[in-house]
Chains A and B, each alone.
Chain A
Amino acid sequence: MVSEDYTDRELMVTTAAREIEDGETAFVSMRLPLIAFQVAVSTHAPNAMAVYESGVIRDAPADGFIHTMCDLPNLNRAVATTGMIDIMSRLQRGDIDVGFLGGAEIDRYGNLNTTRVAAADREIRLPGSGGACDIACMADRTVLLMPHESRRFAEEVNYVTSPGYPADGNGRDDHPAPGGGPSALVTSKATFGFDERGELYLRTVHPGADVAGVLAAFPWEVQTADDVGEGTVKTTSEPTDEELELVRTFDPDGFWT
């Protein structure tokens, strides 16, 4: 167990890292997943691989801090430095087990918006998709990472940049996108799963958070593990000492965490 404090984002990283299983190929996107893959491959998933949309393929942590997937420590001693058609083709073939996505807004079916949000009297332009739409459409499953802020939870997102599940309750069965859809949402206060109809439900709350407080941030009545027959809402596992040390090795100045 841990004897020291950790930040919300450090817990998000270690929780995301545990979503990568040994032997899997992960599509690693910017920010926290850059650190999460390195933690996973250093702990429980030594045979995991990472692909990045720039063309980089890695099987080991970078030997220096990385702001972006193209920082030289991430290219140095990579397995391969190829191109985007190669990486996206692997994704389209169905070879990517898990992808990571963030968003400015999310709805109850895991649809994500990173393109434009409505503010009080105007629309705020955001950077856009990058590879997020492709990952959302074609990865076997996706893990979503977001700060736990009520403005980010929307009955209807302003723009579907990265599709989750349709609102018809049929999950991805009738959905044209070939991927499996979101399997988990990790916020700064809790973790969520998606039921067979594709609707979000509360799975665990992070240490120090409580269920009522977590759910109060949502504009709809969020299901819990109890509602979908998965027992009760538990407490998220804390980072181990080893995991925390790794996070701080890979992000020594806490830039991302």
Chain B
Amino acid sequence: MTANMEPLDVAVSRINTGSTIAAGLALEHAIPFAVGHELLRQGVGELTVVGPISDLLFDQLIGGGAVSDVRAAWVGNVSAGTGYRFREAVENGEVTVEDHSNFSIALALQAGAMGVPYLPTRSLLGSDIFERNDRFTEATDPFGGEPLVLVPALKPDWAIVHAQRASPDGDVHLWGNTGIVEPAVGAAENVLVTAEEIVEPAVIKSDSSRVAITRDQVTSVVECPFGAHPSPVTGCYNRDNDYYLRYNRQTETANGFEDWASKWVYGVSGREEYATFVDTDLEITEPTVAAEVQYGQ
């Protein structure tokens, strides 16, 4: 089984209103903003968004009215703190939030990936994240007698991942920190990969150790240069810090968000046109090249 290699709009059209999507899985690194903006353009709604630290992606989806439920550990703007669209939507009762810690969301997905109903942890005990969420259960370790929290498995409809390169078949190289990419990909029913570059399968097979996702896990693979801007992508481009600060100032009100979105989301046909708006120099200044690795037989 291989993935469908297709344009971004076609891939995103597979995501239905009401879906549960896991995204922003590598934390502040390689966030799939291009997919988020296409979801808004296509008017996909009632999404349940799942993630650890979403750093603006969820704020933008919420601001665009695409989200009904949030299951996350942290939603905001890492540089500036507040994500105003998230904050206002929660305070107005427009979205519900299931609060997690980073580890509990990781374990929920890891359990999904492992095909077990739950995983135990020694975190959360004594916190209101545990006390105020009926989904978690306290249990006693049957072997040692210690208290544990059982985190039930979570299997999202979609995991959305941005990577450096992929083959047309959907085998994916990614490098840099991975956050909870692996457990989310393992747990999800479908995976959408956007890649900076589509490469020959031989390139992927030349370095098997770097393969993080295999074709049988992937539903759609999309060539999408600059698909993670304003977040950084190792080896490709730096974080656009000014963008995060500007977004914070511009989206304090709903009207401000509409103005922002009318330019950056609805005012462009796709990522290529979007990229023309970015005039900050994000080029990496130290293109560190890994020492050669030899495989053989």
**Chain A: residues with CB nearer than 8 A to chain B?**
30, 52-56, 63-64, 67-72, 75-77, 81-85, 88, 91-92, 115, 122-134, 136-138, 159-163, 166, 175-178
Q: Encode contact with A along B228-250: 1 for CB under 8 Å, 0 otherwise.
A: 00011010001101001000000
The residue that B286 contacts in the complex, of A69, A76, A126, with Cβ under 8 A, is A76
| Interface-side segment among B34-42, B121-129, B262-270 | B121-129
**Nearest residue in B to A80 (C-beta to C-beta)?**
B177
- A128 contacts B28, CB within 8 Å? no
Question: Does B19 count as interface, using CB distance less than 8 angstroms?
Answer: no
Q: How distant is the Cα of A30 from the Cα of B146 in the complex, in angstroms?
A: 31
**Nearest residue in B to A172 (C-beta to C-beta)?**
B126
| Interface-side segment among B5-13, B99-107, B187-195, B253-261 | B99-107
With A30-B78, A70-B27, A131-B102 as given contacts, are A55 and B178 in contact (CB-CB < 8 Å)? yes
Q: Which residues of B contact A53 (CB under 8 A)?
A: 27, 52-53, 102, 179
The residue that B102 contacts in the complex, of A70, A92, A134, with Cβ under 8 A, is A134
The residue that A54 contacts in the complex, of B26, B110, B244, B286, with Cβ under 8 A, is B26
For chains A and B in complex, what number of residue pairs have CB atoms within 8 angstroms? 190
In chain B, positions 64-105 with a C-beta closer than 8 Å to chain A are 72-76, 78-79, 81-83, 86-87, 90-91, 97, 99-104
**Nearest residue in B to A176 (C-beta to C-beta)?**
B125
Number of B interface residues, CB 8 Å? Answer: 63
The residue that A134 contacts in the complex, of B99, B103, B180, B244, with Cβ under 8 A, is B103
Q: Encode contact with A along B129-158: 1 for CB under 8 Å, 0 otherwise.
A: 101100000000000001100000000000
Question: Does B203 count as interface, using CB distance less than 8 angstroms?
Answer: no
The residue that B73 contacts in the complex, of A30, A63, A67, A128, with Cβ under 8 A, is A128
Q: How distant is the Cα of A25 from the Cα of B223 in the complex, in angstroms?
A: 39
**Chain B: residues with CB nearer than 8 A to chain A?**
26-29, 52-53, 55, 72-76, 78-79, 81-83, 86-87, 90-91, 97, 99-104, 106, 110, 121-129, 131-132, 146-147, 175-183, 231-232, 234, 238-239, 241, 244, 284-286, 288
**Nearest residue in A to B287 (C-beta to C-beta)?**
A76
Q: Which residues of A contact B87 (CB under 8 A)?
A: 124-126
Q: Which residues of A contact B99 (CB under 8 A)?
A: 115, 128-129
**Which interface residue of A54, A55, A69, A82 has the most chain B CB atoms within 10 A?**
A54
- A163 contacts B177, CB within 8 Å? no
**Nearest residue in B to A53 (C-beta to C-beta)?**
B102
The 9 closest A-B pairs by CB, nearest first: A127-B76, A163-B126, A55-B177, A176-B125, A70-B28, A130-B74, A70-B29, A133-B101, A131-B102
Q: How distant is the Cα of A166 from the Cα of B124 in the complex, in angstroms?
A: 14
- A124 contacts B91, CB within 8 Å? yes
Q: How distant is the Cα of A124 from the Cα of B90 in the complex, in angstroms?
A: 9
Q: Is the interface of B mostly helix, strand, loop or mixed?
A: loop
- B175 contacts A81, CB within 8 Å? yes
Q: Which residues of A contact B231 (CB under 8 A)?
A: 70
**Nearest residue in B to A160 (C-beta to C-beta)?**
B128
With A92-B123, A125-B91, A134-B123 as given contacts, are A82 and B239 in contact (CB-CB < 8 Å)? no
**Nearest residue in B to A163 (C-beta to C-beta)?**
B126
Q: Which residues of B contact A69 (CB under 8 A)?
A: 27-28
- B72 contacts A177, CB within 8 Å? no
Q: State the Cβ distance, A24 to closest chain B Cβ, in Å.
A: 21
Q: Which residues of A contact B179 (CB under 8 A)?
A: 53-55, 83-84
**Nearest residue in A to B83 (C-beta to C-beta)?**
A127
The residue that A71 contacts in the complex, of B178, B183, B238, with Cβ under 8 A, is B238
**Nearest residue in A to B54 (C-beta to C-beta)?**
A127
**Nearest residue in B to A116 (C-beta to C-beta)?**
B90
- A131 contacts B101, CB within 8 Å? yes
Q: Which residues of B contact A163 (CB under 8 A)?
A: 125-127
**Nearest residue in A to B231 (C-beta to C-beta)?**
A70
Q: Which residues of A contact B104 (CB under 8 A)?
A: 134
With A125-B91, A132-B101 as given contacts, are A72 and B232 in contact (CB-CB < 8 Å)? yes
With A30-B78, A71-B232, A178-B122 as given contacts, are A84 and B128 in contact (CB-CB < 8 Å)? no
With A72-B239, A127-B75, A133-B129 as given contacts, are A84 and B288 in contact (CB-CB < 8 Å)? no
Q: How distant is the Cα of A56 from the Cα of B90 in the complex, in angstroms?
A: 31
- B74 contacts A122, CB within 8 Å? no
27 A-B residue contacts at CB 8 Å? A54-B26, A54-B29, A63-B286, A68-B28, A68-B78, A68-B239, A72-B234, A81-B175, A81-B176, A81-B178, A81-B234, A82-B177, A83-B181, A84-B106, A92-B121, A115-B128, A126-B76, A126-B82, A128-B75, A128-B100, A129-B127, A134-B101, A134-B124, A137-B126, A138-B123, A163-B126, A177-B125
